[in-house]
Amino acid sequence: MDTRESSEGDLRAGAPASATAPEASGGAGSVAQEQVWGQGGGQSDAEGSITVENPATGEVIGTVAEIGAQELERMAERGRQAQRPWEALGFEGRGEILRRAQRWVMDNSERIIETIVRETGKTYEDAQFAELLYAANAFGFWAKKAPKYLAEERVSSSQILVKGKKLEISYRPRGLVGVIGPWNYPLTNSFGDCIPALAAGNAVILKPSPFTPFTSLLMAEGMRECGLPEDVLQVATGGAQTGAALIELVDMIMFTGSTRTGRKVAQAAGARLIPCSLELGGKDPIIVLADADVERAANVAAYYSMQNAGQTCISIERAYVEAPVYDEFVRRVAEKIGSLRVGRPEGPGSVEVGAITFPPQLDVIREHVQDAIDKGARVLTGGHERTDSGGRFYEPTVIVDVDHTMKVMREETFGPVLPIMKVRDAEEAIHLANESIYGLGASVFTRDARRGEEIARRIDAGAVDVNDALINYTVLELPMGGHKCSGLGQRHGPAGIRKYCSVQSRVVTARLAPKREPHMFPYKASTSRLLGRLFKLLYGRGRAKAR
C-alpha cells in the first residue's frame, strides 16, 4: 500500500490573493509568523497565500497566492475564451510559438535552473539534465510531431457494408485542460505536460505543487514573451483544494503525483465523466544477472538511484542481484554511492546529491531505513539525515540483507536509498520485481541482450530498459506511463497528445450512393438469405481452413 498522504491534504483554501515573485517575499521572519500549518515550505498562511522555502537552506524564497474556487472560475472562463482563437491558429501558428519558447528556454537557461534549484534544493546538474534539457527538447518535439500525430487519418475496413465509403478519424482539442503537478520536477512534470496540450490547441490551467510554484510562473512569463496569447496558459497556484476545484472546471485532467492523490483525482474526474491521465508513484527494480557487465550495472544503479536525491518517480528503488555477482555488485555500488557529496548546491559540480524537497518525505525515508534495520538489514553507507546547512538532506544510503517484509522493498521511499537483495536466479528476480503494487519502470542487466528483452517482456511495468535505466523517459517518441497503481494513460508518443483531444470517426457516403441499402427496411427473406451467403463467403473461410 502507498502509505503517503497527499503533500498538503490539510491545506485550507484561502481568499484569493495576487501572486508575488520570489523577490517580493515579505522576508523569512514575517512570513514564517503568519503560517498556520506546520513549519515547512509550501504552507498556507493566514492571508490565503503560500510561503515557499528553499529546502537546501530553509530560507523563505517567496509567497504565492492560494487561488480559490471563485478566482478559478474566472480563470476557466478566460481560458475558454482564449482557446478558440488559439485552436484557429493551426499547427503552424502554434508550432512557431513553441519553437520560439524552445529558444527562450536556452536563452534563459541559467535563470530557469536557478529558479528550479532554489525551490527544489536539487543540484545544478539535476535541474540542467532532467529538467531544462527535457523542456527544450519537448518544445521542438511537440511543435514537429503535433501535426503528424493529430493529422486526419483515412482508414480502410473489412466491413462489407461500408465498401466505397470514406472512413476518417480526426482529433480536435478538448478545450480547457487542467494540469496538476508534483514538486519533484517542476519543469518536466508540471510544465512539461502543458506543452502537448497546448500544441493540440487547448487552453491550459496549470496547478503546480505549492512547494515549487515559481518555475511554472517563470515558464508562463516566458511563454507570454514568446507570443502565447493571453490566458491560453494560466497558472493557478495553490494546494490540494485548488487542485480539487480545478478538476470541477476543466474538460480533461492531467495529473502527476502520488498514487494516493491519483485515486482522489480519478474519483473526481469519474464523477464528472471527464477523462483523466494519471502518472503516479513507483518502486522501480533493477535486475542484475550473473553475466552482466557489473561495472556498468553498478554505475547505472548508483546514478539512477541517487540522481535528484532519489526523488524521481522512476528512480531505481530496489536491486535484485544474482548470487554469483552479488558481492562484487554490492562492493562497487557501496563504494560509488559512499563517495557522493551531499549538501547545499552551490552551482555546477558542487554536490552530487541535493536536498529533500518535501518536508514529510524525510520522515518516510527515515521510517523505511529504520524499519529495514529493525528487521535485520545492514546499512553499508549513509543511513542518516543531515541538516548542517539549515536545509533537509539525507545521506546517500545502501542497504543489504533486505527482503520483502521490509517497507524499503515494497513502498515508495522517494529518497537517496538503494536496498540490494541477493537472488538465486532470474526467475526469482522476475517474481520479486513483479511483487509490487507499482509498475512504472524497471531495468535488466545481462550481456545477452536477447535474454534481457525476454525478461523485460515478463516484467509488469510501463517501461523496461535493458542494460540501461530511466533513459526511456527522455525519448519522447516512446510512450511513458505506469501499470497497476503507477497510473492510467501515457505521456509521450502519439498517445501523449491524442489524450488531449476528442476523437471523431466519420463515415462519408458519396452522393452517388443507392437510395436504399440492402440491409435496410423492409426485411425480405430472399435478401436476408443472400446476405447470409455473402457473410459466410467473407467470414466463414477462416473456420473452414482451420478445420
Separation of alpha carbons 415 and 395, rounded Å: 9
Which sign does the torsion angle of CA 476, 276, 187, 497 carry? positive
CB atoms within 10 A of CB 484: 17
Residues 6+ apart with CB under 8 A from 389: 56, 57, 343, 344
Q: How far is the CB of 218 from ligand NAD (least distance, A)?
A: 17
Residues 163-182 that bind ligand NAD (CB under 6 A): 180-182
Q: Does 307 sit near ligand NAD (CB under 6 A)?
A: no
Select 171 or 185, whichever has its Cβ closest to ligand NAD. Answer: 185
Q: Which residue is nearest to ligand NAD (CB)?
A: 243
Q: How far is the CB of 154 from ligand NAD (least distance, A)?
A: 34
DSSP string, 376-441: T-EEEE---EE-TTSS-EE--EEEES--TTSHHHHS---SSEEEEEEESSHHHHHHHHHSSSEESE
Phi, psi (rounded to 5 degrees) for 190: -95, -65
Tell me which of 243, 310, 343, 382 binds ligand NAD, using CB under 6 A. 243
Nearest residue to 127 via CA among 413, 347, 415: 347
Question: From residue 178, how far is each of 149, 183, 211, 236, 455 by CA, in Å?
Answer: 21, 17, 18, 10, 37
Separation of alpha carbons 127 and 342, rounded Å: 16
Residue 522, amino acid:
P
Residues 312-341 that bind ligand NAD (CB under 6 A): 313
Select 26 or 481, whichever has its Cβ closest to ligand NAD. Answer: 481
Q: How far is the CB of 173 from ligand NAD (least distance, A)?
A: 22
Tell me which of 49, 54, 102, 261 binds ligand NAD, using CB under 6 A. 261
Which sign does the torsion angle of CA 215, 216, 221, 227 carry? positive
Q: 445: which strand partners?
A: 288
Q: 321: which strand partners?
A: 288, 422
Q: How far is the CB of 357 from ligand NAD (least distance, A)?
A: 9
Tell me which of 281, 285, 396, 496 binds ligand NAD, using CB under 6 A. 281
Separation of alpha carbons 60 and 28, rounded Å: 5
Q: Cell for 455?
A: 525478461
Phi, psi (rounded to 5 degrees) for 102: -60, -45
Q: How far is the CB of 491 from ligand NAD (least distance, A)?
A: 7
Q: Cell for 19?
A: 501572486
Contact (CB, 8 A) for 229 and 78: no
Tell me which of 61, 219, 236, 240 binds ligand NAD, using CB under 6 A. 240
DSSP string, 137-159: HHHHHHHHHHHHHTS-EEE--S-
Q: 45: which strand partners?
A: 35
Separation of alpha carbons 9 and 46, rounded Å: 17
- Interaction mask 183-222, ligand NAD, x per CB under 6 A: xxx---x-----------------x-xx------------
Select 330 or 497, whichever has its Cβ closest to ligand NAD. Answer: 497
Tell me which of 43, 44, 237, 256 binds ligand NAD, using CB under 6 A. 256
Q: Does 353 sit near ligand NAD (CB under 6 A)?
A: no
Select 452 or 482, whichever has its Cβ closest to ligand NAD. Answer: 482
Count of chain residues binding ligand NAD (CB under 6 A): 36
Q: How far is the CB of 352 from ligand NAD (least distance, A)?
A: 21
Separation of alpha carbons 294 and 278, rounded Å: 35
Select 19 or 334, whichever has its Cβ closest to ligand NAD. Answer: 19
Distance of CA 3 to the CA centre of its chain: 19
Residue 131: how many CA atoms within 13 Å on its side-chain side? Answer: 31
Q: Does 257 sit near ligand NAD (CB under 6 A)?
A: yes
Nearest residue to 211 via CA among 82, 356, 357, 368: 357
- Of 194, 226, 276, 313, which is the active-site residue? 313
Q: DSSP label at 35?
A: B
Separation of alpha carbons 72 and 275, rounded Å: 20
Select 190 or 202, whichever has its Cβ closest to ligand NAD. Answer: 190
Q: How far is the CB of 510 from ligand NAD (least distance, A)?
A: 46
Select 452 or 496, whichever has its Cβ closest to ligand NAD. Answer: 496
Select 31 or 245, whichever has its Cβ closest to ligand NAD. Answer: 245
Residue 152, amino acid:
E
Select 149 or 414, whichever has its Cβ closest to ligand NAD. Answer: 414
Q: Does 119 sit near ligand NAD (CB under 6 A)?
A: no
Nearest residue to 419 via CA among 379, 467, 459: 379
Tell me which of 118, 264, 318, 336 binds ligand NAD, using CB under 6 A. 264
**Known active-site residue 279:** yes
Q: How far is the CB of 189 from ligand NAD (least distance, A)?
A: 4
Select 207 or 392, whichever has its Cβ closest to ligand NAD. Answer: 207
Q: Does 258 sit near ligand NAD (CB under 6 A)?
A: yes
Tell me which of 379, 487, 490, 499 binds ligand NAD, using CB under 6 A. 487
Interacting stretch for ligand NAD, rule CB under 6 A, among 5-13, 161-169, 367-375, 400-408?
5-13
- Of 53, 125, 131, 279, which is the active-site residue? 279
Burial class (CB in 10 A: 0-12, 13-18, 19+), 47: middle
Tell me which of 95, 439, 482, 496 binds ligand NAD, using CB under 6 A. 482
Which residues are marked as active site? Answer: 279, 313
Instruction: Give contact residues for ligand NAD (rule: CB under 6 A).
Output: 6-9, 180-185, 189, 207, 209-210, 239-240, 243-244, 247, 256-258, 261, 264-265, 279-282, 313, 358, 412, 414, 440, 482, 487
